[in-house]
Every structure is written in structure tokens, then in C-alpha cells.
Amino acid sequence: MKRMTITAAALLAAGCSTGIVPTDQGKYMISTTSAAGALGNPNSLKAEQYQQANEFCGKQGKVVETTGGALRNGVPFVRASGSSLEFRCIAPAAATPASAPV
């Protein structure tokens, strides 16, 4: 029974994802819809997308630069929650920390 509960929870946490899709001139997009429908948390989907993007860029020796994205809250009986992330991979030296003084 415990194993069944863990499996069900894992399925609800996972979503249907496009995977990493090249869009335009070195930019990429990931779009994910929650498998839990309207009850899914779009923030957890976004975290999974950043993990995928970081792994993808890391294999190239680069880091993620976010260029866009959106979170979509679910509405029961209307639409599932979802998230999209638009990014590009840039050289680590080109990345500027958000906390750096200007």
C-alpha cells in the first residue's frame, strides 16, 4: 500500500512536458502541463524545467539565461496548471549575478 501511495504521488507530481525545443537563434523553450490537472502546482513544474535547462546548458559548459516564461494556475473543470520556460545557454563569464552592485 505504501509503495502504491508513493507511485501515485510521483505520477501526480510529474507532468506532460514538451522537453527542450529549439525556438529561435540559440533560444529554447520547455512547456509543461501538470498531470494533476487543476490541482497541480505550477511552481514545482517550473523548478523541474530549470533542472532540465541547467543540465542541458551544463553539458555545453554554459549556464541558463532566462528570456521568458509563464506560470498558469489550474481552474477545476476548465484547465490544468502549467508552466513554460524560455531560455538560452550563455558562457559563464557572460552571466552577471543578480546581487552584483551596478
pLDDT digits (tens, 9 = 90+) for 14-50: 578 889 999 999 999 999 999 888 888 899 999 999 9
Distance in angstroms (rounded) separating the CA atoms of residues 34 and 72 = 10
Q: How far is CA 64 from CA 5, 67, 72, 90, in A?
A: 35, 9, 22, 6
Return the pLDDT at 6: 42
Distance in angstroms (rounded) separating the CA atoms of residues 1 and 61 = 43
Q: How far is CA 93 from CA 60, 63, 90, in A?
A: 14, 9, 8
Stretch 56-68: mean pLDDT: 97
